Amino acid sequence: MTIVRNPSTKATGKSSDNLSELVFQKIKNDIFDFKLMPGERFTESEIAESYAVSRTPIRQALYRLQQQGYVEVQFRSGWQVRPLNFKAYEELYDLRILLECYAVEQLCQMPKDQLQVALAVLIKTWCIQPEQYIYDLRKLSAQDEAFHCHLVFAAGNAEMAKIHSEISEKIRIIRRLDFSKDYRIEATYAEHQQILKALLAQDAAFCLSILDAHIRHSRNEVKKITLEMLSCCPA
């Protein structure tokens, strides 16, 4: 996607904000898609030329991305995509496991009719036939994140759900790579179906076992795929 703006058009405050938001999303997507590689250095001028916009919205977007931990400013040498820190990601995945396992325990204690209502949207999305599976990486990644966030939200602890959502945002850059392989897509559908069936049966021990293995397997796969992608790119 190239963002083109007529340089002769004087921007209003609102249009400037909209342009900055578009640039922000574009750079963020390029980082997520590894078009801007971890550790890659660049200048505001290079991005401005590539996106066909002025440096002002570029700078605004980059400062937002810096606040969110995706880029770092380099003294007198522009910007750098933040290098991947696998130890930090592993710790975030461990925290995910704690939060989601607690949520599952709470869900298994719900009255059955209340539990069925809480899980209805997930059952509709995930308990489908193989020919209905989604193979679009971005769509499926968003649905997978929504699945896990919904489990925590449905457990009823708003503060816990907020923390879990923040963790999901931080790991999104590598998590979506889990769906770059068809076999991982099919495994995710199967595992989500198992989790939902165990929840509906209110079998907490079995559900915890499946969920723990599911998240750990996903973590290991995305690390492996990320390392493969980085090894294929020129230094």
Task: Give the pairing type, strands 71-74 and 41-42.
Answer: unpaired
pLDDT number for residue 233? 64
SS3 189: helix
Name the residue among 92, 115, 57, 91 with its Cα closest to residue 168. Answer: 92
Name the residue among 211, 15, 229 with its Cα closest to residue 100. Answer: 211
Contact between 61 and 20 (Cβ < 8 Å): yes
**pLDDT per residue rounded down to tens, the chain (235 residues):** 444 444 433 445 566 678 999 999 999 999 988 899 999 999 999 999 999 999 999 999 999 999 998 999 988 779 999 998 999 999 999 999 999 999 999 999 999 999 999 999 999 999 999 999 999 998 999 999 999 999 999 999 999 999 999 999 999 988 988 998 899 999 999 999 999 999 999 999 999 999 999 999 999 999 998 888 777 765 5
d(CA 34, CA 23): 16
All domains of the chain in start order, with CATH:
13-81 (1.10.10.10), 86-231 (1.20.120.530)
Contact between 106 and 156 (Cβ < 8 Å): yes
Contact between 153 and 106 (Cβ < 8 Å): no
pLDDT number for residue 9? 39
Contact between 9 and 19 (Cβ < 8 Å): no
